[in-house]
Amino acid sequence: MAKAVTIKVKLVYSVDTGFYDVNKKKPRAMHEKLVKKKDHPVAKKHVEFREAKIKWGGSVAAAK
């Protein structure tokens, strides 16, 4: 099975309102952190979202 070309990244609003979005990125083509201007539903305007790490909640086996 081939390795995935894209990875998922978390886009976080720069003011820490708790709102985030998940996007895909090609790490071989984009070496710098992803920055996008997107619509923020709480602020009701276009704001800058920056890439952050996705924090995984642990394994499913540990929850049982």
61 pLDDT higher than 70: no
Compute φ and ψ for 25, nearest 5 degrees. Answer: -145, 145
Confidence of residue 57 (pLDDT cuts 50, 70, 90): low
Per-domain boundaries in the chain: 7-55
62 pLDDT higher than 70: no
Architecture of domain 7-55: Single Sheet (2.20)
- Taking 3-state DSSP, the helix, strand and coil percentages for the chain, each rounded to the nearest 5, stand at 5, 40, 50
Q: Which residues of 19-40 are buried (b: 16+ CB within 10 A; e: fewer)?
A: eeeebeeeeeeeeeeeeeeeeb
Task: Compute the average pLDDT of residues 29-52.
Answer: 84
11 pLDDT higher than 60: yes
Q: What percent of the chain has pLDDT over 90?
A: 0
* Total residues found in the chain within this entry: 64
Name the 3-class secondary structure at 25: strand
What local confidence, expressed as pLDDT, does residue 63 receive? 47
